[in-house]
Chain A
């Protein structure tokens, strides 16, 4: 992205203004949000990929399902994502965490370089009760904290349910990065903006799969349209006990996990 001086001034000014406005906004939202969230609890409890009153807000309504039992931690998804989206080294739009639940009850969570080069068999098998991989990405929340804290509306949910960042409009205040309870956002030093998974918006608009889903060798990532009952994704969600991450936060997370352990949620 070109950085002309005018733009920088605007960004800097807005950063300052944004910060002060935001502090106030967060205070107010905290109070008001508390009440309205409570009112929404019952409705949101039915939440399965933000299905409200039996319907999704849009059609198509894109999301992804992750089948933890299928992930082999090869890291192809992370690599494909980085190549496809020109993600700077050391940052990840999607990443893999390895959970090891030890016999002594402790839990070890590791993600060397986001899992981009796969994993080593470097945990002591005798001490492990259970171990598995958990691919992570933006949950494309329907009531996402990140879009709510953005002071300039640079990050928003598209009509297809995909949360994206308008890189030309982002002022770089980084509130969204802090607000994401899933750690899905990062500062992109190449773009000088916040950045995140777009479900490969540029690909799905052409009818293709997101890069990560396309290269997954075991089909652990299933991309599709939740609103289309005939889609493999909708079928998967219907037929399996799936769950979203941190449902107690009422973020309206859309990404569906099958086989999510209590240690991960």
Chain B
């Protein structure tokens, strides 16, 4: 995380996830190669619903405090990032 901040301080600022301690690599995948040579190795950029539902789909064994949605009923026709900004405010786009 620290390594990413050196070059992407702006990406951390408005991010609910980062504030809550979600590591950049938890979403962008292992990015060590990118920190060593950012031109050659580009990290994964999440875009699909599956990238988000992996952590947010409603699962009965997930703890109750944790924010979950039912992917079948929660705006099933759009990508999550159409409405939820990950790196900008407001977190839910108008």
User: Chain A interface (Cβ within 8 Å of chain B)?
Assistant: 69-76, 80, 83-84, 98-100, 117-121, 123, 125, 128, 131-133, 214-219
Contact = CB atoms under 8 A, between A and B. Distances in A.
Contact of A71 (B26, B57, B63): B63
Interface residues of B, number: 20
Nearest to B65: A69
Q: Which of B17, B21, B61, B62 has the most C-beta atoms of chain A within 10 angstroms of its own C-beta?
A: B61
A63 B69 CA distance: 34
Contacts of B57: 121
A119 B59 contact: yes
B63 A76 contact: no
Contacts, number: 65
B22 interface: yes
Interface of B: 1, 17, 20-23, 25-26, 30, 54-55, 57-63, 65-66
A217 B61 contact: no
Given A72-B66, A74-B54, A83-B30, A215 B23 contact: yes
Given A214-B23, A217-B23, A72 B63 contact: yes
Contacts of B65: 69
B66 to A, nearest CB: 5
16 contacts: A69-B63, A71-B63, A72-B62, A72-B63, A83-B30, A99-B61, A119-B61, A132-B61, A133-B61, A214-B23, A215-B25, A216-B23, A216-B26, A217-B21, A217-B55, A218-B20
Q: Which of A70, A72, A216 has the most C-beta atoms of chain B within 10 angstroms of its own C-beta?
A: A72
Contacts of A216: 23, 26
A137 B1 CA distance: 23
A67 B15 CA distance: 24
Contacts of A75: 54
Given A76-B26, A119-B59, A119-B61, 10 more contacts: A69-B65, A73-B62, A74-B54, A118-B54, A121-B57, A121-B59, A133-B61, A217-B26, A217-B55, A218-B20
B80 to A, nearest CB: 15
Given A83-B30, A121-B57, A217 B17 contact: yes
